[in-house]
Structure 1
Amino acid sequence: MFNPRPSQVEVLNYESGWMGVSAVPGSGKTHTLSSLAARLIAEDRLAEEQEILIVTLVNSAVDNFSSRIASFLRGVNLIPGMGYRVRTLHGLAYDIIRERPDLVGLGTQFGVIEERERSRLLMSSANAWIRANIELIQSLTRAETDASTPRFKQEERWNKLVVEVGSAWIRKAKDLQLSPAQIEEALSALPERPWVVDLGCKMYADFERALRMRGELDFDDLIQLALEAIQRDPEFLARLRHRWPYILEDEAQDSSRLQEEILRLLSGPNGNWVRVGDPNQAIYETFTTANPQYLRNFLRDPHVRALTLPNSGRSARRILDLANHLIEWTLEEHPVPELREALAPPYIFPTPPGDPQPNPPDTPNNIYISRKRTSDEELTGIQNNVQKWLADHPHQTVAVLFTSNSRAFEFFQNLVQADIPCVELLQSSAATRDTAVLLHHILTFLVEPTNIKKLVSLYTAWGKFLDQQAELNQNLPVPPEIRQAAAKALAACNRPERYIQPAAFDDWLHDQEPHLPPPVLTDLALFRERLAHWAQAVSLPVDQLVLTLAQDLFSDPAELALTHKIAQALQAQGRFNPEWDLRDYAAFLQNIAMQRQKFLGLSEQDTGFDPDQYPGKVLVTTYHKAKGLEWDRVYLTGVNNYDFPSAQSFDEYQSESYFTEPRLNWVAEALQRLDAVAQNDLAALFMEEGPATQEARYSISGERLRLLYVGITRARRELLIFWNTGRRKNCLQALPLAALESYWRSQMEEDPHAPSA
């Protein structure tokens, strides 16, 4: 039974018009918005052909909203699944285009390119641009970097930079609704152009040409073309407005210009549009075209009824105080005036007495801010601390948050090696990587079947996989001493072919019978059977080879579906890299396994995650992935002036290319010049380099303030904040953390035992 708070009641009393809601972390916005949707349906406000349209950010939120609305409707004896449609923005755009593809010049069979394939096209275009501009790249590379860095490392850095600039240029151009031809026409009178402009133009043209050849769109095209469709046909727009008389928008702080325009048009000037979000939790601006200013402006519109959901029962009061002080310090004391609006009210209030979600009680020392540590000391200290804590709190939840996937994965591996119970939520799911690891070992072995090291590695990976499967099915795994003895025996086999394909009177495994225990012999015999089966499939095309391996290895539908996705990815790689052999495909799988390749699988970790399902285990993830989640105890890592800069003269920025001369944020420099093209201000193309980088510093620093705020508000009962000196041991404590530590110590000196107000 949902018992709304007074502030939630205000939202639920919505009748019509435009309404904006600022919702603090843990305020129950999803529950409130779901209840509002169910109420509008239950009050019979909709005609038979009409729906409530709910637009949210990610697929897992779609499932969350759908299930909550269905639950509310069942509670009033209505049939769930009717009268509402929940979509991400991309899902909504797809629906619009699918209904009238002719309005934007598409046939009915258009496809949408997958993100990993988009990355591959960009990399191919980047490589072509680099090959055509070797002298320019050499002139832009800092001399000391050029002299001290191996050639392959230089190429790797430039590849990454060129892809980043090109990808950002394409995304921004589509947000500005500029085609490659329109940009070229605007630049046609110029005798020359800055190199970042040349790069952006060429990669955009290459990318669009490749998409057209494939008959596909990318996700940015979906948004742009959906807007064009409803702009071009007033009758189509009128039909959609009638179909969706109420629009409820979640996570509106992450809205982009085009998203706002689409929903504004669908609503109409006299329509019903509710936008809910928290500008203080806008943490995707660096990666996307999202900007929290759109929601802020909407809330200030005199035609909008602006409300707040200020109460949160998620965190202990001291933790709420710390989050609120970060807002207050930013507003009033941040030394950089340009950052004083990065965070803003509403402040978070605890829930009122009698609330069904009371705040967890404060305990002594439930907030800890660490001393200065090296990078290694930070990881070791957290590992030791969380291991001790788990022993005393087996039924509570705990998370360790990192700013990067690579460092998070390093820590996760440390926990695994120390036998500390753990689970991770990183770039690819554990299921994806485990599958990729095993397939990588099989393909590597098939390339060199007589290489004893690869044979032993495959046996070890296969044994680990079988043991994991046994545990999942609540069966006993093979004892580790048997696996170890078998691996040791294999490693001593000087002619692997005698084991893999023995002759009638020359069988290595038969010769081992006097020396190895029966369980070891049985395991090695079973492994040999699998090797023979896999070897028979080696002549198949790589996608069919992987699917054959899947049928041999997996029975779970999700695992088979995941392997099918991997097979499709390998097939696509082969289509565009006809020279690839099994070595190359094995390397591709290794990239997935080692977090170098983004590849979403089909496990719970990719579609939704419930921390309360993992008590007594350490959850390892990033700050960004943690958004929307909560744990009893949270460790924040890396809160130094590199990962959390504050636009100070001594700060450094990951986005600024240290290997170039000058050292600038080339993505920001490129996008500023693209804005100049859009505004037909061609003189601005040749403005001095640097101001765009400085503006980007403000933007990044503001977003990192919000990221710290998000991290703090993930904690229910206990919060531990760590910082380190970085790889070069020259990083300092982040400026906002220093302010929080000073505030916290003053609070403890006043009354170390009193709960916060």
Structure 2
Amino acid sequence: MIKVQNFSNTPEGTKLKDIPNARLADHKTSVELVADVEEDASYFRALEADNIKLNKPQIEAVRHVDGPALVLAGAGSGKTRVLTTRTGYLISRKNINPKSIMLVTFTKKAADEMKSRMHQLPGLSMHMINQITIGTFHSIFFRLLRSKGYAQQVLSSEKRKQLAIKLILKEKKLQDTYEPETLLALLSSHKTNILSVNDLPASSTVEKEIKEILIRYEQWKEQNHYIDFDDMLMESLQLLRQDNKLLVAMQRRFNYILCDEWQDTNPIQFELIKLIAKPNNNLFVVGDDDQTIYSFNGADRSIILNFENLYPNAKKMTLDINYRSTTSILGLGNEVIKYNQHRHPKTLQSTKSSDLNPLYLRPNTTDEEAEAIIMKIKEDIQSGKRDYRDFVILHRTNSSSRAIFDQLVLQGIPFLSYSKGETFYEQPIVQPIIDYLRLSLEPNNLDAISSILPSCFLNRDKAMYHLEAEQVINPDSNPLKHLRSLRGLKPFQTKQIEERVALIKTLKDIKPIQAIKLIRKFYDNYLETNERKNVTLHKEILLETLSEVEASAQKYDKVVDFITFVDDVIGKNKEMETIRRTPNANAVSLMTIHRSKGLEFPVVFLSGATEGILPHSSALEASDRKDLISEKKGAQKIQAALEEERRLAYVAITRAEQELYISSPAYYRGEKVAISRFITDPFTPEAEQQKDQTKAKGTAEVLVWDCTSPTCKCWMRITTAQEADQEQRECPMCKEEMVQATKNV
């Protein structure tokens, strides 16, 4: 078992090197920086009376009035304060009409917080605040559509959308060929890039099928008078482009536009803002390119990176004073993110010094990792040093949190899970595997039978109706056999039933890990590569999840013991529902890194900091993954994916206020894995870095064709755009497949 003292000052295997602490920031605020004789001093004195004391870069941003401005707001640097106090400055000091101000946020929660903070500002009445247009892109532009007579019902339920796609797939006899969520993501991606369903490609059979499905989906929405969130922006853009009178009215009304979380903006959002901001371009945007972690949702980082090119007269300001993390934690964050090439250079300063450095752990497995984390939490709780609410455990994907979730439940530690609230074993992809094992012990468990039916390629409702009716007439200790008499069975379905009945009989007498491997043969058929399945973006997550089931079962010798453990986890998790419903519960937080953005905690555990988890295998293999959403090719895909993963690591690190623990399991999915490059890079000795830099002098990274044969060393430079658009080609030397890669030449 791992002991708490096994946390160390440096990652295992790295040569000792002091990570430079972040610089301790100058503590001067508006109290010292704004003299009483200055024209706007009264505004800052009034802020100070309410304990709002701005630092130098914040003051500069607040005082900006006319023309475009880009405010690079580092993690924990007070961007919300800048947005609200600048709004107050415009109204109370510059006499700007509140009706002419638009403040755009990305969530309703953020919009509500902005309004709440404005109530505390000097010189702003409730009436003034209510006149400001504050809201999300969707709420603001949906109000515009309503004002112009649009009366469609909002389609916000993802389940409803997926059901509609499933019905269309059934209508076209394409059920089980495409995942509804993937098709919807593809459509959403097109719309965020200002493309309609008619712009989808249709050169291959798969592309034609997808286009037909999505055209039919759009028709279904129109027939049923539905509008979704993407449609709100598409319709608004079309309206403004077609109705010049309306556009001019919007431009005249909104003279000052402020946008939060600018790094998460997508092309259609930017186009809308760009149109309305003309001709004065009094556009004030706040964001952090180092925290762009939502590319999968359409965020286009080039919008924040190229802002100064789009607006040559823009003023750029950097909020580089962090009020959240200690100098040692922020120092690590600075060192991690500096390895990204495509970013606005910035080095954050801290206002908090501390002797506590980030600590590192190298457990063998995710289960040992979970034990170590829980042990550390219990130690701090028992000593009275911390409350449960002080801790957050961050993970890259939901499946990588399985072991930690189990330990939290089994050891009775109150925690808030920000997933769906279900255990790992109740997830749709996992539960049928558990139920195959359960049926080997309880063949007449009808709930378990219902769970496995889709994997037999049977309609669940029809099959269960038949089975239950037959069981009443002719009871059998193994009701699954009744499916043999189901009318209309095709030969392959009959074969599936026979194979499953035979399989279930064998499972209880072998080890759970072996049983799961047998069951996975059916599941992995779903994941096998074929032309249609290449569309999906979720296969890697499914593989990861199934491998985690095996890891969980590894420590049990009997199926009955594993099922008892699973039921114990599920049962105790249900008992903890009361805690989750308690406001401000004293509980540990368990969440993905994505979910943690914008939050902060005294103590952060970053779990799974290994190659394959962070960076995720989907990023490491990005050039091999074909999808219809990303337009990037080969090595370009990998670089973009890895930079986003590094930003994820940076976001995780900068959630910590006082203590940071980073753990990197040595084995993942049964294979030995290295500690995440994001964690080891800062510990690379300067001499090695210089050697690498020297080696790179006089060279350039170029795109090439690289032979996949391990015995062939052939590679060829890609010289044309047509070649770069190809996915693969034949090697002229050995006739094996060549794929895109990069080389320094």
Quickly say closer, same or farther: Cα 1:119–1:664, change in 2 above 3 A. farther
| Offset of residue 42 of structure 1 | 2.3
RMSD, aligned α-carbons = 3.4
> Could you tell me how far apart the structure 2 residues matched to 1:700 and 1:742 are?
22
Aligned to 2:607: 637
| Offset of residue 271 of structure 1 | 3.2
Match of 2:187 among 170, 191, 196: 170
Aligned to 1:9: 59
| Counterpart code for 1:723 | S
Match of 1:394 among 371, 378, 386: 386
Aligned to 1:249: 259
> Could you tell me how far apart the structure 2 residues matched to 1:165 and 1:693 are?
21
| Counterpart code for 1:643 | I
Aligned to 1:412: 405
Aligned to 1:71: 120
Match of 1:89 among 137, 142, 145: 137
Match of 2:655 among 707, 714, 732: 714
Decide whether the 8 Å contact of 1:425 with 1:621 is kept in 2: yes
Quickly say closer, same or farther: Cα 1:308–1:84, change in 2 above 3 A. same
Quickly say closer, same or farther: Cα 1:22–1:8, change in 2 above 3 A. same
| Offset of residue 643 of structure 1 | 2.0
> Could you tell me how far apart the structure 2 residues matched to 1:409 and 1:126 are?
33
Indicate the SS of the match to 1:248. strand
| Offset of residue 427 of structure 1 | 4.3
> Could you tell me how far apart the structure 1 residues matched to 2:169 and 2:684 are?
47
The answer to whether 1:698 aligns with 2:698 is: no
Decide whether the 8 Å contact of 1:51 with 1:244 is kept in 2: yes
The answer to whether 1:665 aligns with 2:675 is: no
Indicate the SS of the match to 2:325. coil
Kindly report which structure 2 residues correspond to 1:302-701, keeping only aligned pairs within 5 A, or say none. Answer: 302-328=312-338, 330-331=339-340, 340-341=341-342, 343-351=343-351, 359=352, 361-364=353-356, 366-392=357-383, 393-395=385-387, 397-408=390-401, 411-427=404-420, 613=584, 617-645=587-615, 652-653=617-618, 664-667=624-627, 670-671=628-629, 692=633, 694-701=635-642
> Could you tell me how far apart the structure 2 residues matched to 1:299 and 1:605 are?
45
| Offset of residue 170 of structure 1 | 0.9
| Offset of residue 14 of structure 1 | 1.2
> Could you tell me how far apart the structure 2 residues matched to 1:15 and 1:181 are?
42
Quickly say closer, same or farther: Cα 1:227–1:76, change in 2 above 3 A. closer
> Could you tell me how far apart the structure 2 residues matched to 1:409 and 1:124 are?
33
> Could you tell me how far apart the structure 2 residues matched to 1:203 and 1:731 are?
41
> Could you tell me how far apart the structure 1 residues matched to 2:224 and 2:620 are?
32
Aligned to 1:291: 300
> Could you tell me how far apart the structure 2 residues matched to 1:173 and 1:452 are?
45
Decide whether the 8 Å contact of 2:370 with 2:403 is kept in 1: no
Can you list the C-alpha shifts for 1:289-337, whole angstroms capped at 9, x where unaligned? 1111101111444221111101112111011110111123x15xxxxxx
> Could you tell me how far apart the structure 1 residues matched to 2:321 and 2:166 are?
47
| Offset of residue 666 of structure 1 | 2.8
Aligned to 1:30: 80
| Counterpart code for 2:251 | R
| Offset of residue 25 of structure 1 | 0.3
> Could you tell me how far apart the structure 1 residues matched to 2:88 and 2:364 are?
51
Provide structure 1 residue ranges, at least 5 long, that are not aligned to the other structure. 102-106, 134-154, 188-192, 332-339, 352-358, 434-450, 455-592, 595-602, 646-650, 658-662, 676-690, 747-757
| Counterpart code for 1:734 | S
The answer to whether 1:99 aligns with 2:92 is: no
Decide whether the 8 Å contact of 1:429 with 1:605 is kept in 2: no
Aligned to 1:727: 669
| Offset of residue 66 of structure 1 | 1.4
Decide whether the 8 Å contact of 2:118 with 2:124 is kept in 1: no
Indicate the SS of the match to 1:387. helix
The answer to whether 1:197 aligns with 2:207 is: yes
Aligned to 1:52: 101
Quickly say closer, same or farther: Cα 1:318–1:225, change in 2 above 3 A. same
| Offset of residue 604 of structure 1 | 13
Decide whether the 8 Å contact of 1:42 with 1:78 is kept in 2: no
Decide whether the 8 Å contact of 1:18 with 1:271 is kept in 2: yes
Decide whether the 8 Å contact of 1:41 with 1:52 is kept in 2: no
Provide structure 2 residue ranges, at least 5 long, that are not aligned to the other structure. 1-50, 427-443, 448-568, 571-577, 689-745
| Offset of residue 628 of structure 1 | 0.3
Kindly report which structure 2 residues correspond to 1:206-285, keeping only aligned pairs within 5 A, or say none. Answer: 206-285=216-295
Aligned to 2:692: none
| Counterpart code for 1:382 | I
Decide whether the 8 Å contact of 2:334 with 2:347 is kept in 1: yes
Indicate the SS of the match to 2:322. coil
Decide whether the 8 Å contact of 1:397 with 1:614 is kept in 2: no
| Counterpart code for 1:362 | S
The structure whose residues are more often strand, as a share, is 2
Indicate the SS of the match to 1:420. coil
TM-score w.r.t. structure 1 length? 0.59
Indicate the SS of the match to 2:312. coil
Decide whether the 8 Å contact of 1:630 with 1:715 is kept in 2: yes
Quickly say closer, same or farther: Cα 1:378–1:195, change in 2 above 3 A. farther
Indicate the SS of the match to 2:306. helix
| Offset of residue 452 of structure 1 | 12
Indicate the SS of the match to 1:171. helix
| Offset of residue 217 of structure 1 | 1.5
Can you list the C-alpha shifts for 1:227-254, whole angstroms capped at 9, x where unaligned? 1111111211122223322111000000
Indicate the SS of the match to 1:315. strand
Decide whether the 8 Å contact of 2:72 with 2:318 is kept in 1: yes
Decide whether the 8 Å contact of 2:395 with 2:593 is kept in 1: yes
| Offset of residue 405 of structure 1 | 2.7
> Could you tell me how far apart the structure 2 residues matched to 1:621 and 1:19 are?
34
| Offset of residue 656 of structure 1 | 6.4
| Offset of residue 24 of structure 1 | 0.4
The structure whose residues are more often helix, as a share, is 1
Indicate the SS of the match to 1:82. helix
> Could you tell me how far apart the structure 1 residues matched to 2:619 and 2:69 are?
38
| Offset of residue 32 of structure 1 | 1.1
- Greater RCO (CA < 8 Å, at least 6 residues apart): 1
> Could you tell me how far apart the structure 2 residues matched to 1:307 and 1:132 are?
53
| Counterpart code for 2:390 | T
Quickly say closer, same or farther: Cα 1:453–1:228, change in 2 above 3 A. closer
| Counterpart code for 2:57 | S
Can you list the C-alpha shifts for 1:32-55, whole angstroms capped at 9, x where unaligned? 11111122222363447x242111
Indicate the SS of the match to 1:732. coil
| Offset of residue 713 of structure 1 | 0.3
Decide whether the 8 Å contact of 1:665 with 1:696 is kept in 2: no
| Offset of residue 420 of structure 1 | 1.5
Indicate the SS of the match to 1:253. helix
Indicate the SS of the match to 1:122. helix
